[in-house]
Amino acid sequence: MATRFFFNLLTCTVVGLSVQAQQQPLTNDQYFNNNFKNIVNPLPVIKQWTDNSHFTWQHDGKNFIVDAATGAEQEATEAQLNSSAIAQQPEIKVEEHDIFVTINGEKIQLTHDEAEEKNPTWSPDGKWIAYTKKNDLYSIELATKKETRLTEDGSDVIMNGYASWVYMEEILGRATHYRAFWWSPDSKHIAFFRTDDSAVPVFTLTDGAGQHGYVETMRYPKVGDKNPQVKVGIVIPNARSGNITWAELNPRDDQYIGMPYWKPDGSSLLVQWMNRKQNLLKIWDVDLATGLMKLFYTETQKTWIDLDDEGSRMVFLNNNKGFLLFSDSSGWRQLYYYDMKGKLINPVTKGKFTVTELNSIDQVNGVVYFTARKENSARKDLYRINLDGSKMQRLTFGDFNHTAISMSPNAGYFVTTYSNLSTPPRMAIVTGNGKKIKDIADAKGADFEKYQLANTTLVRVKSDDGLYELPLRVTWPVNMDKTKKYPVLISIYGGPERSNVMDTYINNGTQQWYAKDGLIQVTMDHRASGHFGKEGVNYMYHNFGYWEMKDYAAMVKWLIANGNADPTKICITGFSYGGYLTCYALTYGADVFTHGMAGGSVTDWSLYDTHYTERYMGTLADNPDGYKSSSPLNFVNNYKGVLQIVHGVIDDNVHLQNSLQLIAKLEDAKKDFECMVYPGGRHGWANLASRNLHYQNLKTKFIYRYLLEKPVPKELLK
């Protein structure tokens, strides 16, 4: 029945596209410069809410203030632009290694030395700035410009307030820029990590620049290696050096320390602790004066627990009324209500859906506003629910994906940007009770119906075991002929809890050009992508690659049987984890996938870092079969298609070593393949303009040589 339904869907798509043949084709300016003016126009950009019923936004080069009750706008005054429901701290800049702030139009220089200050951060009261310098933690008082050195032992391997590579990349997050210190809400204390990297193995990166080449070393723990030793310190901003309270955690334990949380009144620090296996989470309440700890929260799972990197696990209510906590221990990410002693009061949400964001809390009325993937896993909606878990209500509307939701401070109104694959984005004002006031912007231009645009649809294919309706987004060729076979280009990232298929409008020149030239363009998600909660993601435990490839193959087979896909031209492409899956598809999955473009690929998981890899795969000691079965290196003999391998020479995330080992295996097996390396390239090379253009051209030539089998139009080459 499902197959017949989707065949009918495709037939309707083809008929619809034949009608489109009467429309005019896009121009080269639209294809190659993404100039879709009057077809799809940019939406206004919301800047801020100035009070509970007005917000400012920008369009046509001007700023306007909008009345949320009516949707009426008028050009904003300077005073309105500078007002906000949330106070803003003056901007801090680091120029030539020194810190500058601009206050009331006056630019003030705060530091005067050759050492580089990193991550300067205001205290909440605006009286202090904390930062690191030469791996020591400092503070400076704005009123006196007095600098205080808070730690003394910073070195190449001892870092105070500055994270080691693996903590930045996997635990704290790239957005921190290695910052590992946090102000208390009352500005009286700073919590920080003291990291000792001395036991972490050194990895050497080399490049070919200059007469003697370039050499760089980094502390990078690979699977099974020693991790950094981390201590948690607490210090006052004008403390004498060495006057530090240390949490009573033993840094020599095999453990991970997550981003800490301050209690709202600054009275104590909550420190996230996790075992090396990453299936046990404890949150410790640390006394600021003594460092003594008492257990605040604990959670265990059979597989793993994510150690959040955005400070989003807990959100505190006012007046010590408790906190809301995210957990996926039920198999789905839900919200729970706890008191200030860490005791569960009640679940707030429950069910087989994923809560993605906590948008607002009306603490007076005990109402929680949150975003979830509930009605359709490829769409997000805004909901409200009482704090006791009663009276859940969907606030957004229609068969749309609602993104970029902006709520007024008291949650009386919100603005939603919504679309689906066939509907360009619109913006609407909605009350906090779910009453739509009006649409206030529409990206659909006056010429939208005049042009021949490719049709993109969302299809769901049943997995081989019948458990899941797997989503794939397909952009079909323009004027598709159901009697012909078409090459397929599949763009993926894959990996645990990484969804790429959402019911959101997408339109760009490259997509439209390839559709005109006869390419089926596909994005697909597997069972562990997040569409099916932690229940689905758990399939990946100790088993990278297998379920992704099984689900991808099921979707490809559907395209061949029902979507006019040419089985001799099934190309998959991705970068990083997507590069890994591309290599895996051309080896382990070679009976289905015929071509691949792999960038920055992991080729054996023993070569990647401890925290990410061991979370899912365990160690080589406790999961030897999983490491063997997940590695493309062990399936090179299956390879029979065409694989393009691309890597940055000094990639400090996924080391070039990965691609080199795969290349060696392919050469030893006398297999033909393509390879390109980018000198100076890290995990990507967007900052190397000429090489990035070369990379784009490389992929374009591959598509035309092997999939479309015709010369590359000169307009496509950059």
pLDDT at residue 7, rounded to an integer? 46
Name the token pair of 256: 């991970």
Name the token pair of 526: 């597997």
3-state secondary structure 386-401: ECCCCCCEECCCCCCE
- DSSP label at residue 40: B
How large is the angle between the packed helices 546-562 and 577-587, nearest 10 degrees?
70
Identity of the residue numbered 691: R
Min mean pLDDT across 404-408, 469-473, 475-479, 711-715 is at 711-715
Residues 293-301, mean pLDDT to the nearest whole number: 97
Sheet holding 401-407, edge to edge: 401-407, 413-420, 423-431, 436-442
Name the token pair of 269: 């620090």
Name the token pair of 643: 């694989």
As a whole number of angstroms, the distance between CA 65 and CA 50 comes to 9
Positions of CATH 2.120.10.30 in the chain: 330-443
Residue 143 has pLDDT above 90, yes or no: yes
- Please count the CA atoms within 13 angstroms of the CA of 226 that sit on its side-chain side: 15
Q: Are 420 and 506 in contact (CB under 8 A)?
A: no
As a whole number of angstroms, the distance between CA 256 and CA 136 comes to 21
**Burial zone of 392 (CB within 10 Å; 0-12 exposed, 13-18 middle, 19+ buried):** middle
Q: What is the CATH number of domain 465-716?
A: 3.40.50.1820
Torsion of the alpha carbons at 587, 591, 594 and 597, rounded to the nearest 10: -30
Name the token pair of 30: 């639209």
- DSSP label at residue 545: T
Residue 103 has pLDDT above 60, yes or no: yes
Q: Are 405 and 390 in contact (CB under 8 A)?
A: no
Q: Are 248 and 292 in contact (CB under 8 A)?
A: yes
- Please choose, from the candidates 537, 544, 554, the residue with its C-alpha nearest in 3D space to the C-alpha of residue 499: 537
- Please choose, from the candidates 266, 267, 300, 272, the residue with its C-alpha nearest in 3D space to the C-alpha of residue 284: 272
pLDDT level of residue 302 (50, 70, 90 thresholds): very high
As a whole number of angstroms, the distance between CA 122 and CA 675 comes to 47
As a whole number of angstroms, the distance between CA 305 and CA 497 comes to 12
As a whole number of angstroms, the distance between CA 83 and CA 345 comes to 38
Sequence-distant (6+) residues with CB within 8 A of 87 are: none
pLDDT digits (tens, 9 = 90+) for 577-620: 999 999 999 999 999 999 999 999 999 999 999 999 999 999 99
- Please choose, from the candidates 291, 685, 716, the residue with its C-alpha nearest in 3D space to the C-alpha of residue 510: 716
Q: Are 138 and 120 in contact (CB under 8 A)?
A: no
pLDDT at residue 104, rounded to an integer? 86
Positions of CATH 3.40.50.1820 in the chain: 465-716
- Please choose, from the candidates 191, 196, 130, the residue with its C-alpha nearest in 3D space to the C-alpha of residue 167: 196
pLDDT at residue 309, rounded to an integer? 61
pLDDT level of residue 543 (50, 70, 90 thresholds): very high
Mean pLDDT of the chain: 94
pLDDT above 90 as % of the chain: 90
As a whole number of angstroms, the distance between CA 13 and CA 367 comes to 44
Residues 369-382, mean pLDDT to the nearest whole number: 98
Q: What are phi and psi of 664, to 5 degrees?
A: -60, -45
Torsion of the alpha carbons at 361, 364, 366 and 368, rounded to the nearest 10: -20
pLDDT digits (tens, 9 = 90+) for 168-178: 999 999 999 99
CA 98 to chain centre: 32
Residue 251 has pLDDT above 70, yes or no: yes
- Please choose, from the candidates 682, 606, 599, 590, the residue with its C-alpha nearest in 3D space to the C-alpha of residue 642: 590
- Please choose, from the candidates 619, 586, 581, 620, the residue with its C-alpha nearest in 3D space to the C-alpha of residue 601: 581
Sequence-distant (6+) residues with CB within 8 A of 15 are: none
How many residues are recorded in the chain?
718
Q: What is the CATH number of domain 330-443?
A: 2.120.10.30
User: What are the DSSP calls for 586-629, one per residue?
Assistant: HHTTTTT--EEEEES--S-GGGSBHHHHHHHH--TTT-HHHHHH
| DSSP bridge pairs for 96 | none
Q: What are phi and psi of 106, to 5 degrees?
A: -100, 130
Q: Are 593 and 567 in contact (CB under 8 A)?
A: no
- In this structure, the strands spanning 520-524 and 486-491 are parallel
Residue 426 has pLDDT above 70, yes or no: yes
- Please choose, from the candidates 556, 557, 501, 554, the residue with its C-alpha nearest in 3D space to the C-alpha of residue 524: 501
As a whole number of angstroms, the distance between CA 700 and CA 135 comes to 44
pLDDT digits (tens, 9 = 90+) for 431-457: 999 999 999 999 999 999 999 999 999
CA dihedral sign of residues 170, 175, 181, 186: negative
- Please count the CA atoms within 13 angstroms of the CA of 624 that sit on its side-chain side: 1
- Please choose, from the candidates 401, 430, 524, 539, the residue with its C-alpha nearest in 3D space to the C-alpha of residue 472: 524
- Please count the CA atoms within 13 angstroms of the CA of 410 that sit on its side-chain side: 9
pLDDT level of residue 3 (50, 70, 90 thresholds): very low
Residues 41-51, mean pLDDT to the nearest whole number: 94
Sequence-distant (6+) residues with CB within 8 A of 318 are: 264, 363
Residues 546-561, mean pLDDT to the nearest whole number: 98
As a whole number of angstroms, the distance between CA 409 and CA 407 comes to 6
Name the token pair of 178: 């290695």
Name the token pair of 608: 């990647």
In this structure, the number of other CB atoms found within 10 A of the CB of residue 93 comes to 11
As a whole number of angstroms, the distance between CA 378 and CA 401 comes to 7
pLDDT digits (tens, 9 = 90+) for 388-398: 999 999 999 99
- Please choose, from the candidates 378, 316, 371, 365, the residue with its C-alpha nearest in 3D space to the C-alpha of residue 349: 371
pLDDT digits (tens, 9 = 90+) for 500-523: 999 999 999 999 999 999 999 999
- DSSP label at residue 169: I
Residue 12 has pLDDT above 90, yes or no: no
- In this structure, the strands spanning 245-246 and 674-678 are unpaired
pLDDT at residue 695, rounded to an integer? 96
Q: Are 130 and 161 in contact (CB under 8 A)?
A: yes
Residues 634-656, mean pLDDT to the nearest whole number: 98
pLDDT at residue 4, rounded to an integer? 43
As a whole number of angstroms, the distance between CA 502 and CA 512 comes to 19
Q: Are 158 and 167 in contact (CB under 8 A)?
A: no
Rg, C-alpha atoms of the chain? 27
